[in-house]
Amino acid sequence: MKVLISVDMEGVSGIVHPSETGPERYDYERGRELMTAEANSAIAGVLDAAPDATVWVADAHGPFRNLLPEQLDRRARLVRGKPRPLGMLGGLDRETDAVLLVGYHARAGSGPAVLAHTMNDGLLDVRVDGRSMGEIGLNAAMAGHLGVPTVLLSGDDAACAELHDLVPSAVTVEVKQALAQGAAVALHPEEARGLLRHSAAQAVLRRSEIRPLTLTGPVEVEADLAAPFMVDLATLIPGVTRTHGGRTVSFTASDFAEAYRLLLLLAQLATIRPA
């Protein structure tokens, strides 16, 4: 069995502020240690349930170079760095049996939710067939496109509710309760790790009961961008058009994999600043 654990940072217990998640910020190294420890708990849980499993861990935050390789459980394989195929799901393929989302956050515009956003601050909202989706929904749907169920998510209460809305039978681990964009009531990190390890084992054992999130094509996508010049750049991509004024673009993809790749490109364009 192959299991992919995608690890973000904003949903890790104890983390509430960009100073803990951004490279070159004063508390980033502490955030990296907390993130790595939760990744290790998920790895341990998977291997408690399936000792012979192959576990891949995708570093899925910011530059994709946050997990501390020397501190990561040596039984796992680390997918690190960017750009790479499938972004936050680096390592996913049709041979994967289950996806776990660890340290995830809610979508842009939701709240109260700790450090909520979608991909980056340049994307204000993404709607797939009219439904607003953040990284949780987009990644679960990409896994589902390959027939892979998303069996677990850990994060704050808003992130857990977001996955439950899309995959009701998935296991969720609420490691903190959001009070605001930058405030939460959090479990002690060791308490969160114990809960995550137990839940990861249960999620893997229940994987056959959890249906993949499947969106059939063609897929209609709209994205609200933070600045008009981002729209100007986006419309240089064949098939992407300006809609609803100066901030929104739309496109039709033949299937969800094509939509996902285009959204990765839009997110990258949204990081460009005017010359």
Q: DSSP states of 1-55 as a string?
A: -EEEEEE-STTSTT--SGGGTSTTSTTHHHHHHHHHHHHHHHHHHHHHH-TT-EE
At residue 275, the pLDDT reads: 76
At residue 111, the pLDDT reads: 92
Per-residue tokens: 216: 């059939």
* Centroid of chain to Cα 137: 8
At residue 245, the pLDDT reads: 79
Q: Which of 61, 105, 117, 145 is catalytic?
A: 117
User: Which is it for the CA torsion 130, 134, 136, 140, positive or negative?
Assistant: positive
Residue numbers of the chain with a pLDDT score lower than 70: none
Per-residue tokens: 67: 């997990």
Instruction: Map tokens 């994205």 to a residue.
Output: 223
Backbone angles phi, psi at 220, to 5 degrees: -95, 125
17 is catalytic: no
Rounded Cα distance, 132 and 86, in Å: 20
At residue 274, the pLDDT reads: 84
At residue 273, the pLDDT reads: 86
Question: 29: which residues sit within 8 A by CB, 6+ positions away?
Answer: none
